[in-house]
Chain A
Amino acid sequence: MSTPESAAAQPTSDRKDLVRVEELKVYFPVRDGVVINRKVGDIKAVDGVSFEIRRGETLGLVGESGCGKTTVGRAILRLYKPTEGHIYFEDVDVATISDKEMRKLRRRMQMVFQDPYSSLNPRQNVENIITEPMLVHAIADRKEASEKARELLEIVGLPKDSTSRYPHEFSGGQRQRIGLARALSLNPDLIVADEPVSALDVSIQAQALNLLQDLQGQFELTYLFIAHDLAVVRHLSHRIAVMYLGRIMEVAPADDLYAAPLHPYTIALLSAVPIPDPAVESRRQRVLLPGDLPSPRNPPSGCRFHTRCPFAQTERCPDEVPALRLLQPDHLVACHYAEEIRDGKIEARPPEEAGVEVPRDPQPV
């Protein structure tokens, strides 16, 4: 009953794509029992995801907590072993190569983590933190490495003499810069940035986003930018993939996605983002979703979003998994009725029908 998601998403030229993910599945076993520890099910964190990351671009991966976006990012670096599917980094399948080969490949892919407080070793000084990857991969001797560290610190906007200081002496924004310098030390092709700015205050967040942008140009980096904040994702990304409950719902160039979202989930997600402008806020039409995210252990049949979708139909949606298909140039969507919704032939049901109270008073202009 499931259709291959990649059918329409077939690869453009390989040279353009740095990473190609095909039908990726990552399941985490759920165990139960005290004496006999048996497997009773799976958390289907990622359940059949295909996309590509083009060389030099920023692909934004958005979705709510529990949608599997972090798992996808970690699977690409093989911090989690994929259950099924392929992850091609250029021509090498990350999902199947040996650990030894993987270690070599990791030099070319690095990660920046969300929490600048727990992702730096508190007992190492900044020089050690930044030089360690270079020494581990033996691409520089100690002297070269510490010179490079100073250089990198300057690039990310920290004083060169920070090398002998420890993480606790830095603020959150500065620590995130140290994390970036560490990722850059190996001169990688791909950086997977998992919520790199969500722990930062707004004034600091803007500084960090600008830095990420500058570095991309300077080091010819490709980013997989994972975040839940849609405004931030749009600001940085060339293309955006929207995930819901382990599957991709929509992939499109950033401007297209925000100007004319095609998937009902994307529409709802965008309309839920508060806009810092009271005049705009009072005029906005919202598509409120009823209820909560279903459990990834037992996801809904058919389209995973049909239980909360304001446009859901009784035909196809509950029992047929929608394929991710090309609807407009470079714009993929996984919805049976995307055309009808776009053309206004199907209208959204008010969320009251699902038992959630959502009054919204029209405010005087």
Chain B
Amino acid sequence: MTQPLLSVRDLEVKFFTRRATIHPVNGISFDLNPGDTLGIVGESGCGKSVSSLALMGILGKTGKVTGGEVIFEERDLLKLSNAQMRSVRGRQIAMIFQDPMTSLNPVLTIGRQITEVLRTHLQMDKEAARKEAATLLDRVGIPSAADRLGDYPHQFSGGMRQRVMIAMAIACHPRVLIADEPTTALDVTIQAQILDLLRSLVAEEEMALVLITHDLGVVAGVCERTNVMYAGRFVETGTTRDLFERPQHPYTLGLLRSVPRLDRPKTARLETIKGSPRDQTQILTGCSFAPRCAYATDESWAETPLLREIAPGHRVACWNPVSTSVPAGSAEQGGHS
């Protein structure tokens, strides 16, 4: 097998604060190849954003990568100096953030912000950079692009700003694009436009896309593969189809069942996942989902389950996966298909 484009191994991140140590990411691994679209799904606090910040090397002062490696083009990104990392970040691995309102500099023109990327990373001269910036804006679907280079961010709507962010991210033809909740702040009709744009860019640019989101619908429409994250670990990974059609981890199943669906008849009540997400200051022995899980067994409380393959390409970290079991202690929930 050839070397993957990006390979994350056992990544572990901790935040050290005065009060407590927080464990947002507790060992995750994944590979990306050119053209891959990987969705990382989870609820707030599951560590999905922190892991992407860690591999971009922008964790901030309190955060530390405490274990693992991130191999990109035969180098471990975690071992690079700041200067070396700067030539990777934005050039080969680019990122789009959730909030297009705050991730652009309000006092610089759009043109200036895009040309800055081009001039820093590709050493273009002013004139060439300006031309390229106009081309980029045009590609992401901004009408009369050349005329808008002199505009400031406040003159753009939320959807348009996200298009500008995408233009900046793809400016250097990165190999990997990480999109962290790129459409969460946008209205549904605008979200549909942006997702379509991302889909077509991934196909044209031959890059790999990591889409981080809490919205199962977004993943279903964009990603080939999906990793479900809970309490800083992946609990289920596989092709998006397998995962949605045959969810094996009780958490994945719970997530899928707790959202009302437009394409199904209305149900009287929604199924819920009991309790609330875990306390990040502790690492539990056993499965971190056990306190909320209807399928938990004695084993779940005693030992942390590791990801294991249960069907080709479909892996789950659970002692008592859905298809092989009946939920323990809740008879009315049985009969899943």
Chain A residues engaging chain B, CB cutoff 8 angstroms = 64-65, 171, 173-174, 201-207, 209-210, 213, 228, 230-232, 234-235, 254-255, 258, 268-281, 286, 288-289, 292-293, 355-361
Interface contact A280-B258, CB-CB below 8 Å: no
B21-33 CB mask vs A (1 if < 8 Å, else 0) is 0000000000000
Q: For residue B4, give the distance in angstroms from its CB to the closest CB of chain A.
A: 23
A-contacting residues, B234-272, CB 8 Å: 240-241, 244-245, 254-256, 258-263, 266-267, 269-272
Among B12-20, B93-101, B187-195, B312-320, which stretch is in contact with chain A?
A: B187-195
Interface contact A275-B262, CB-CB below 8 Å: yes
Interface contact B43-A210, CB-CB below 8 Å: no
The residues of B that contact A279 with a CB separation of less than 8 Å are 241, 244-245
Q: For residue A216, give the distance in angstroms from its CB to the closest CB of chain B.
A: 13
The residues of A that contact B193 with a CB separation of less than 8 Å are 288-289, 356, 358
Interface contact B220-A231, CB-CB below 8 Å: no
Interface contact B254-A274, CB-CB below 8 Å: no
Interface contact A202-B262, CB-CB below 8 Å: no
Interface contact B261-A275, CB-CB below 8 Å: yes
Q: How far is the CA of A293 from the CA of B187 in the complex (A)?
A: 10
The residues of B that contact A207 with a CB separation of less than 8 Å are 272
The residues of B that contact A210 with a CB separation of less than 8 Å are 269-270, 272
B199: Cβ under 8 A from any A Cβ: yes
The residues of B that contact A359 with a CB separation of less than 8 Å are 196, 199-200
Task: Knowing that A201-B44, A203-B254, A230-B188 touch, tell me 12 more A-B residue pairs with CB under 8 angstroms.
Answer: A64-B188, A201-B277, A202-B258, A203-B255, A230-B262, A254-B266, A270-B262, A275-B261, A277-B244, A289-B192, A293-B157, A360-B196
B160: Cβ under 8 A from any A Cβ: yes
B215: Cβ under 8 A from any A Cβ: yes
Residue pairs across A and B with Cβ atoms less than 8 A apart, 28 shown, are: A64-B190, A201-B277, A203-B254, A203-B276, A205-B259, A213-B269, A232-B260, A234-B260, A234-B266, A235-B267, A258-B262, A268-B189, A272-B188, A272-B192, A274-B217, A274-B220, A275-B217, A275-B261, A276-B217, A276-B259, A277-B263, A279-B241, A286-B192, A292-B190, A293-B157, A357-B139, A357-B197, A358-B196
Q: How far is the CA of A85 from the CA of B254 in the complex (A)?
A: 46
CB-nearest residue of chain A to B196:
A358
The residues of A that contact B263 with a CB separation of less than 8 Å are 275, 277, 280
Q: How far is the CA of A33 from the CA of B159 in the complex (A)?
A: 30
When A and B form their complex, what is the total count of cross-chain residue pairs whose Cβ atoms lie within 8 Å?
A: 146
Q: How far is the CA of A276 from the CA of B255 in the complex (A)?
A: 10
The residues of A that contact B266 with a CB separation of less than 8 Å are 234-235, 254-255
Q: How far is the CA of A288 from the CA of B217 in the complex (A)?
A: 17
Q: How far is the CA of A271 from the CA of B277 in the complex (A)?
A: 32
Partner of B215, one of A206, A255, A270, A274: A274
The residues of B that contact A278 with a CB separation of less than 8 Å are 220-221, 240-241, 244
Interface contact B269-A356, CB-CB below 8 Å: no
Partner of B260, one of A235, A280, A286, A293: A235
Interface contact B217-A209, CB-CB below 8 Å: no
- 8 A-B pairs with the lowest CB-CB distances in the bound complex, closest first: A274-B217, A276-B216, A206-B258, A235-B260, A64-B187, A203-B273, A272-B192, A201-B43
Q: For residue A110, give the distance in angstroms from its CB to the closest CB of chain B.
A: 24
The residues of B that contact A202 with a CB separation of less than 8 Å are 43, 214, 216, 255, 258-259
Q: How far is the CA of A280 from the CA of B262 in the complex (A)?
A: 11
Interface contact B256-A355, CB-CB below 8 Å: no
Q: For residue B14, give the distance in angstroms from its CB to the closest CB of chain A.
A: 22
Interface contact B259-A274, CB-CB below 8 Å: no
Q: How far is the CA of A247 from the CA of B205 in the complex (A)?
A: 42
B143-178 CB mask vs A (1 if < 8 Å, else 0) is 100000000000001011000000000000000000
